[in-house]
Amino acid sequence: MVGLGAMGAGIAQLAVEAGYDVVGREVTAELGVQAATRIGHFLTRKVEKGQLAREACDAAVGRLDTTVDLERLSDCDLVIEAIVEELAPKRSLFAELDRICRADAILATNTSALSVTEIAAATTRPERVVGMHFFNPAPLMPLVEVVQAELTSEEVVAVAAAVGTRLGKEVVCCHDTPGFVVNRVLIPLLNDCLRVLDEARVTPEALDVALKNGAGWPMGPCALADLIGIDVHVHSAEALYARSRDPRMAPPARIVAMRDAGLLGRKSGRGFYTYD
């Protein structure tokens, strides 16, 4: 596992629970310790809730090894990347992994909006590169999209899907296209919802009530944007618009202004709503 932020740590937690030995690489030892502590905390919470035996928790924690040395991943069968959502750093990392890892290793990216094909092109083995898009928070969200890039082999897709299933996820396989499946639908849909705020002169509360009660949404679009993070949504929308040039992908000016003002939703304490 390369990158042990919120997403990477969640994927690493799933893997150790599923019985995999995991090497987690972070840029500093302190960040690695923080991630391991966070994973241990969440597994302990599951013990307290009766969802996991203490022995299984201890065994899972013992299967995680953190490091700052990328070379430690040289003998891994599968490497999943969950670093910053920018193309250049990902391509640079995959070029390094291409040099370090075994020729038969599978290299996977957790990107939600970037081209898996472009990331794979940074390697000499694009047939061994695949997308494994987990959703946040990874331990709780039940879906993983397995994304086949232009040159990804069918065997690699099948292995990635089998890993996703072993991690307890519902697996949807698709080809590399802007937004894959969920974000291809969700991002323009959320953008349309947020544009209605100004077009219909409706409050965020009223819009959420309308979609929950009129369309059966479990959560209104404004509350959902706050949960995702306004900055995360804007970043993904901009990336998908750059790839597709579909005007519906472009983030509405209102949420770009919110991002610029630091109104990021739950993570900052204020977005469309205010949080304690």
CATH number of domain containing 211: 1.10.1040.10
Would residue 13 count as lying in a domain? yes
- Which CATH number covers residue 28? 3.40.50.720
The residue out of 150, 175, 200 marking a domain boundary is 175
Residues 158 and 85 placed together within one structural domain of the fold: yes
Would residue 101 count as lying in a domain? yes
Residues 142 and 46 placed together within one structural domain of the fold: yes
Would residue 269 count as lying in a domain? no
Would residue 82 count as lying in a domain? yes
Pairing relation of β-strands 143-148 and 106-109?
A: unpaired
Residues 74 and 58 placed together within one structural domain of the fold: yes
Would residue 61 count as lying in a domain? yes
Residues 198-225 have pLDDT tens digits of: 999 999 999 999 999 999 999 999 999 9
Confidence band of 155 (pLDDT split at 50, 70, 90): very high
Residues 183-192 have pLDDT tens digits of: 999 999 999 9
> pLDDT over 70 for what percent of the chain?
100
From 179, 94, 88, select the one nearest 133 (Cα to Cα).
179
Residues 38 and 153 placed together within one structural domain of the fold: yes
Confidence band of 128 (pLDDT split at 50, 70, 90): very high
Residues 165 and 187 placed together within one structural domain of the fold: no
Q: How many domains does the chain have?
A: 2
Residues 39 and 153 placed together within one structural domain of the fold: yes
pLDDT value at residue 136: 87
Question: What mean pLDDT is predicted for residues 128-133?
Answer: 98
Residues 63 and 191 placed together within one structural domain of the fold: no
What residues act catalytically? 112, 133, 145, 183
pLDDT > 90? residue 44? yes
Residues 121 and 211 placed together within one structural domain of the fold: no
The residue out of 175, 205, 234 marking a domain boundary is 175
- The domain containing residue 234 runs over which residues? 182-260
Q: How many CA atoms lie within 13 A of 145 on its CB side?
A: 24
Residues 74 and 168 placed together within one structural domain of the fold: yes
Using omega within 30 degrees of 0 as the cis cutoff, is the peptide bond preceding 137 cis?
A: yes
Residues 209 and 115 placed together within one structural domain of the fold: no
